[in-house]
Amino acid sequence: MDIGKNIVRLSNHESSVSIKAGAGKYILEAAVRRYKKLIFTKGGNGALLNPVAKTVFPTPTTSVPTHALAPKGKYPLLTHRNIQVSGGNIKLNLDTDESYTLNVPAKGGQATIKVKSVYGALRGLESFSQLVSWTEETDQHHIPVAPVTAKVVYNYDLTANMTKEQSKPVLGGEVGLWAEAIDGIDLDRVLWPRGATAAENPTTTELLKGKFFAIIMVAIKLLTSISLLAATSMAWVWPLPEKMDIGKNIVRLSNHEFGVSIKAGAGKDILERAVRRYKKLIFTKGEYGALLNPVAKTVFPTPTTSVPTHALAPKGKYPLLTHLNIQVSGGNTKLNLDTDESYTLNVPAKGGRATITAKSVYGALRGLESFSQLVSWTEETNQFRIPLAPVSITDKPVFPHRGVMIDTSRNFLKVADIKRTLDGMSYNKLNVLHWHIIDQHSFPLKTKTYPQLAEKGAYSKHWVYTEKDVRDIVSYAKDRGIRVYPEFDIPGHAYSWGLAFPDIVTCMNMQPNWSDYAAEPNSGQLNIINPKTDVIVRNFLKEVTTWFDDEFVHIGGDEVNFKCWEDSPGYPEYLQKNNVTLDNLFGQFVLKSHNWVRENKKTPITWQEALTSHHIPIGKDVAVQVWLGAADAIKVVEAGNRVISTSYERWYLDCGRGAWISDSQGNSWCDPYKGWQVVYNYDLTANMTKEQSKLVLGGEVGLWAEAIDGINLDRVLWPRGAAAAEVLWSDIKLADGTIRKTGDVFPRIHEQRARLVDRGIGAEPLQPLWCARNPRNC
């Protein structure tokens, strides 16, 4: 492929295509219609990329040509594409010729694709479409590197270490998608973009001993190798209730004959909105849930107990449950660590009226969720029913802090993505969203005090959160009984601050030696000897902390690199003049930042390094988030501080999905992948005394977003996040102190995954459906 340095532009209204072909012309005509739509679509994600990532240059050090970023102008217009096919064979087989040549002139006018088959023309059309880009600044479609000459002959190199004769039988390759843990919900995410790398250069080889034809398969196989045992000792409510008694009777429900009454003081409006949501959820005919065999949905005392025939019985005149009565005795609607989320739920066997009693509206929300999970729909009977009445539940959480951490700096999450995550959290009785809102990669928070931070630091003017957005998310979360607190990670991870204020950030983007100065690119830490830094951060916190109702603000403090400061101008002199060390300096800044949080009537949270690595004398009010392991959690409680556990060894859900650094060998720093069983088998208070364990507030699963955005968010989080939710809500220890066997949990987590999918959450499958239907045979 040869390229130039000129721009040619394209216009949807001034673009035509001519086709010279015999047999198969109709295939190309249909393709041209498809590609016109693709070429002239204004791709938001593609437009966000720097042209250097979209254009071909001879060496990695070549800079982006300024013309590629030039404003809209009178560039030559490419008016026509001429497709010439010399062959007439439209049969697809191993001999099909897919080669093509493509020419785009620098002066505009007519581009040409020349091929020997219509299938070669299809490949050429795809390549042409990839040359065209659209930029928001110019609102123009153009090819920025004309003239372009490309000649492509498809030649897959799968014959390494083979003789010439041995390589002849190699037909090509395939990527494999064995579907033990794949279905339509996560198919795209599993296949792409890894399938694209295989398309360009498959590298898996096999020495052929004989003369048989071979197709070499690159298998992407996600297999869960855990045995499913019997159903558990509870029904299919998730997370597992504290106490639950069930019967053997069916009661049925009808959308047209079911009412809800609410007796509550303050917060009645929250419950009224919740009831409207849950009526839709309860009376939705869930496809995925209905596919599960009742043995995977019902709880029996022993592995050998068969499915009761009444659970499969045809539609009949079972007692009708006509009403749900919700009674809230308390009137406090404030969400905090002291919020009472307990509830009781009773469903009578004779039908009539079910009741939920709670001491707060948030306890009533948890009861509503449990009630909704008791109801199932079957395609055979076309009936909504509770098959194990009477039901009596008394329930409350073990930990008050049960959370998910999202990262919106490395990759932006749209408001709709965050709200969908809040929905999924509510279905699992999680109650804290830790919003890691800004970091080194981008600054997507738009403030009135310093609007330039987002103007210079966000990926796009459209990819920012305003005060209105934040308050909307906080309100949406509160309606679901979820607290939201922000994290502003300082003084490390600060590159994005420096795009607006270069003088308050040191060692900005030290390429190519970024790894000497930061845990990941792009490097940059706050300049903690510049008084201006204190002014800007303090004023920033004064404004944005008011947008959040929660008592906590996370102030970061992790992964600080002292070399960044050591090698920055002014630091050696400052340290000598003031007779301080970098450790002293860092400690002073951490304590100042905690006081800035307190000034705004908030309580600081910090990552553990401040206490466990640097031994900074932080206040006892500070909650410490531990990510480096259980031993450090014990150090924190021994110091008398409260703990939020997020062990990377258990609850970093981004781990094990491959490396994102360009020159890596493909493995992530925190391999292996944390399957749901690993997530579930996490004892947050292991080796602690009873008094020490009281300081453990709970935990959060972490979703660092180097390779996560709204497209794959659901699949990475769910249902593994559901496993963490049960750890945090229920006592997963058995009477003898051991952790409940995951094999006993499998049938219920299958049901919870199906429920999430039926409610619009793209949770990944865990096994083939056959295994979910036959839990004692996998």
Name the percent of the chain lying above pLDDT 90: 64
Q: What is the mean pLDDT of residues 207-222?
A: 35
| pLDDT at residue 408 tops 80 | yes
Helix (H/G/I), strand (E/B), else coil: 358? strand
Look at residue 757 in the predicted model and tell me its pLDDT.
96
- Cα(212)–Cα(215) distance, integer angstroms: 10
Q: What is the mean pLDDT of residues 380-386?
A: 88
The dihedrals phi and psi of 51, each to the nearest 5 degrees, come to: -55, -25
Q: What digits encode the pLDDT tens for the residues 515-542?
A: 888 888 899 999 999 999 999 999 999 9
| pLDDT at residue 228 tops 60 | no
| pLDDT at residue 669 tops 90 | no
Look at residue 64 in the predicted model and tell me its pLDDT.
43
- Cα(392)–Cα(547) distance, integer angstroms: 40
Look at residue 431 in the predicted model and tell me its pLDDT.
99
Q: What is the mean pLDDT of residues 270-279?
A: 98
- Cα(408)–Cα(336) distance, integer angstroms: 24
Highest mean pLDDT among 41-55, 211-225, 424-438: 424-438
- Cα(300)–Cα(236) distance, integer angstroms: 11
Q: Residue 51 class from Cβ within 10 Å (0-12 exposed, 13-18 middle, 19+ buried)?
A: middle
Q: Residue 523 class from Cβ within 10 Å (0-12 exposed, 13-18 middle, 19+ buried)?
A: buried
Look-up of token digits 């720097």 = 50
| pLDDT at residue 649 tops 80 | yes
Structure confidence at residue 72 as a pLDDT band (50, 70, 90)? low
Do the beta carbons of residue 100 and residue 28 sit within 8 Å? Answer: no
Look at residue 315 in the predicted model and tell me its pLDDT.
54
Structure confidence at residue 189 as a pLDDT band (50, 70, 90)? low
Average pLDDT over the chain reads: 86
Structure confidence at residue 152 as a pLDDT band (50, 70, 90)? low
The dihedrals phi and psi of 144, each to the nearest 5 degrees, come to: -90, 0
Structure confidence at residue 660 as a pLDDT band (50, 70, 90)? confident
pLDDT: is 231 or 17 the higher one? 17
Q: What digits encode the pLDDT tens for the residues 586-621?
A: 999 999 999 999 999 999 999 999 999 999 999 999
| pLDDT at residue 235 tops 80 | no
Q: What is the DSSP string of 602-655?
A: -EEEEETHHHHTS-----TT-EEEE-S-HHHHHHHHHTT-EEEE--HHHHBTTT
Look at residue 169 in the predicted model and tell me its pLDDT.
74
Class at the top of the CATH hierarchy for domain 401-729: alpha beta
Structure confidence at residue 506 as a pLDDT band (50, 70, 90)? very high
- Outline which parts of the chain fall under CATH 3.20.20.80: 401-729
Lowest mean pLDDT among 97-106, 292-301, 424-433, 750-759: 292-301
Lowest mean pLDDT among 307-311, 752-756, 772-776: 307-311
DSSP letter (8 states) at residue 283: T
Look at residue 304 in the predicted model and tell me its pLDDT.
32
| pLDDT at residue 216 tops 70 | no
| pLDDT at residue 139 tops 90 | no
Beta-bridged to residue 83, according to DSSP, are 19, 113
Look at residue 296 in the predicted model and tell me its pLDDT.
36
Give the distance, in angstroms, between the CA of residue 119 and the centroid of all CA atoms in the same chain: 37
Do the beta carbons of residue 444 and residue 454 sit within 8 Å? Answer: yes
Structure confidence at residue 157 as a pLDDT band (50, 70, 90)? low
The dihedrals phi and psi of 372, each to the nearest 5 degrees, come to: -65, -30
Cα dihedral 284, 288, 291, 292 in deg (nearest 10): -110
Look at residue 194 in the predicted model and tell me its pLDDT.
67
Residue 110's contacts (CB-CB under 8 Å, 6 or more residues apart) are: 78, 79, 80, 81, 82
Beginning with the edge strand found earlier in the chain, give each strand of the sheet holding 6-10 in spatial order: 6-10, 140-146, 133-135
Name the percent of the chain lying above pLDDT 70: 86
Structure confidence at residue 658 as a pLDDT band (50, 70, 90)? confident
| pLDDT at residue 769 tops 60 | yes
Structure confidence at residue 94 as a pLDDT band (50, 70, 90)? confident
What architecture does CATH give domain 6-152?
2-Layer Sandwich (3.30)
| pLDDT at residue 467 tops 90 | yes
Look at residue 45 in the predicted model and tell me its pLDDT.
65
Which tokens in the block code for residue 457?
């630091």
Look at residue 482 in the predicted model and tell me its pLDDT.
99
Structure confidence at residue 178 as a pLDDT band (50, 70, 90)? confident
Structure confidence at residue 212 as a pLDDT band (50, 70, 90)? very low
| pLDDT at residue 659 tops 90 | no
CATH number for the domain formed by residue range(s) 243-395: 3.30.379.10
| pLDDT at residue 575 tops 90 | yes
pLDDT: is 287 or 358 the higher one? 358
- Cα(628)–Cα(609) distance, integer angstroms: 9
Catalytic residue numbers read 559
- Cα(749)–Cα(726) distance, integer angstroms: 10
Q: What digits encode the pLDDT tens for the residues 26-38?
A: 898 899 999 989 9
Q: Of 343, 431, 424, 429, whose CA–CA distance to 391 is shortest?
A: 343
- Outline which parts of the chain fall under CATH 3.30.379.10: 6-152, 243-395
| pLDDT at residue 80 tops 50 | yes
Q: What is the mean pLDDT of residues 496-512?
A: 95
| pLDDT at residue 227 tops 80 | no
